[in-house]
Amino acid sequence: MKVEDWTWGARHHARSTAIVGATGVTGVELAAILLDAGHPPERIACYARTDGALNVHGRRLPVAQMPSDPRSLAAYDVVFLCTPTEVSQALAPRLAELGARVVDLSSAFREDPAVPLVVPEINGRVLAGDPRLVANPNCTTAIACLPLAVVERLAGLEEVVIASYQAASGAGAAGLETLHGELRESLGLPRGHGRPTPFPAPIALNVIPAISTVGEDGTSGEERKIAFETRKILGLSGLLVESTTVRVPVERCHSVAVHLRTRTPLAPEALVAALRAAPGIAWVADPHGPRPRESAGRDEVFVGRVRAGARGPTSLAFFAVGDQLRKGAALNAVQVAAALFAAR
C-alpha cells in the first residue's frame, strides 16, 4: 500500500462517518482528525452514553445518545467505536452483520483470528478483502511496531524486550482528569471535580509499574496485549516478546525503550537510514530525545537513541515516542478506514 491509500482526504469527504464514544479522549481526537482533513462536520455523526455537544477546534458537533437499535448506525459508510471493550463487544458484530464497516478501537476483537488487526504501514494489505470489522491495535503496540517492522524487513526479528512509559490519558478522560487533579493537589490547590481515578495508586509525581490487572503469573494485561498483538501485526507467530508496562505522570504520548536481537547482523547506521525513509516515522538525532512532551499532537512515531546492544552484532536498542491518542488510536483508525475505501 502507498501512503496516499491510508491518508484521509478530499476523496473521502462524501463518506458518512459515525463516532461512537465521541466524548472520550480518543473520540474527540478522531473528530479533530476528520475535521482537520477537511471532512464536512455534517458528515461526522457523534454518539455517546448521553447527548450533548462537542467543541472541537471551535467547531460545534452535536452528540446524540447511543441508539438502542444499532440499525440506524449501520447506515453510515464507516463506524468508529471509541468505546469500552464491553460496549464494542456487544455492538461491533451486530453492525458488521448489518453490513457496516466498523473500526473498533477497543481490545474486544484484537485476538480474534477472523478479525484483522491493522497498522496500515505494516499490514494494510490485509484490508484488500474489505472486511466489515477491523480491530485497531493497543496504543503501545502500534507505536513500537512501526520501527520494529523496519528492523524485521532489514534483518529479521528474533527477540524484543520493551519497557513502556505510558501517559495518563491512555486510561481515558478519567486518567487525564486524575493526573490534573492530583497535580493541583500536590501544589496545595483544590483538586477540583473529576471522575474516580482509574489507577491503583496516585499517578502525580509517581510511576506505577503495571498497567491493567496483573495475572497470577505476574504479567499485566497490557504486557499480554503487547506480546500477542506485536506477533499478529508483524506476522511473526514465534517472536519472543517481553515487556514491562509502566504508567507515568505524562499527559499524552507513550514512550518505549526497546532492546532487540535480529536474525542477521544489523549496523545501527543501516537502521537509522531505513528509519529516515520509513513512512510514519520521524528520526530524532537529539541524543536526549525523543520525548513525549514535544511529540504530543503529532502523527509520526519519533525514534531516536539507536545504538548497538551489548550482545554482539545482532543486538540493538532504540527509544520511540508516539502520541497514543493519534497513531496509537484515532489516527490509525482513520488511516484504516481510508485504506478500506482505497480501491472502492
Ligand X SMILES: NC(=O)c1ccc[n+]([C@@H]2O[C@H](COP(=O)([O-])OP(=O)(O)OC[C@H]3O[C@@H](n4cnc5c(N)ncnc54)[C@H](OP(=O)(O)O)[C@@H]3O)[C@@H](O)[C@H]2O)c1
List active site positions.
139, 254
| Cα atoms found within 13 Å of the Cα of residue 301, Cβ hemisphere only | 33
By CB under 6 A, tell whether 85 contacts ligand X: yes
Segment interacting with ligand X, rule: CB under 6 A, options 45-53, 72-80, 208-216, 219-227: 45-53
Query: Number of residues in contact with ligand X, rule: CB under 6 A?
Result: 29
Among 2, 42, 50, 58, binds ligand X (CB under 6 A): 50
* 184, burial (CB in 10 Å: exposed 0-12, middle 13-18, buried 19+): middle
Q: What is the pattern of x (binds ligand X, CB under 6 A) and - over residues 2-31?
A: ------------------xxxxxxxx----
Q: 216 CB contacts (<8 Å, ≥6 apart)?
A: none
What gap in Å lies between CA 204 and CA 85, rounded to an integer? 26
By CB under 6 A, tell whether 84 contacts ligand X: yes
Whichever of 284 and 329 has its CB closer to ligand X, that residue is 329
Segment interacting with ligand X, rule: CB under 6 A, options 48-56, 237-245, 261-269, 314-322: 48-56
The closest alpha carbon to 147, from 6, 337, 316, belongs to 316
- CA separation (Å) from 34 to 13, 30, 326? 9, 6, 12
Q: What is the pattern of x (binds ligand X, CB under 6 A) and - over residues 282-321?
A: ----------------------------------------
| Cα atoms found within 13 Å of the Cα of residue 284, Cβ hemisphere only | 21
Among 105, 146, 151, 339, binds ligand X (CB under 6 A): 105
The closest alpha carbon to 240, from 268, 218, 263, belongs to 263
- In degrees rounded to 5, what are phi and psi of residue 228? -65, -50
Segment interacting with ligand X, rule: CB under 6 A, options 43-51, 92-100, 121-129, 207-215: 43-51
What gap in Å lies between CA 174 and CA 148, rounded to an integer? 31
Q: How far is the CB of 255 from ligand X (least distance, A)?
A: 13
By CB under 6 A, tell whether 122 contacts ligand X: no
Whichever of 92 and 274 has its CB closer to ligand X, that residue is 92
b/e sequence 71-96, b meaning 16+ C-beta within 10 Å: eebbebbbbbbbbeeebbbebbbebb
Residues of this chain, 167-186, that bind ligand X according to CB under 6 A: 169-170, 172-174
Q: Which residues bind ligand X (CB under 6 A)?
A: 20-27, 48-50, 66, 82-85, 87, 105-106, 139, 169-170, 172-174, 324-325, 328-329
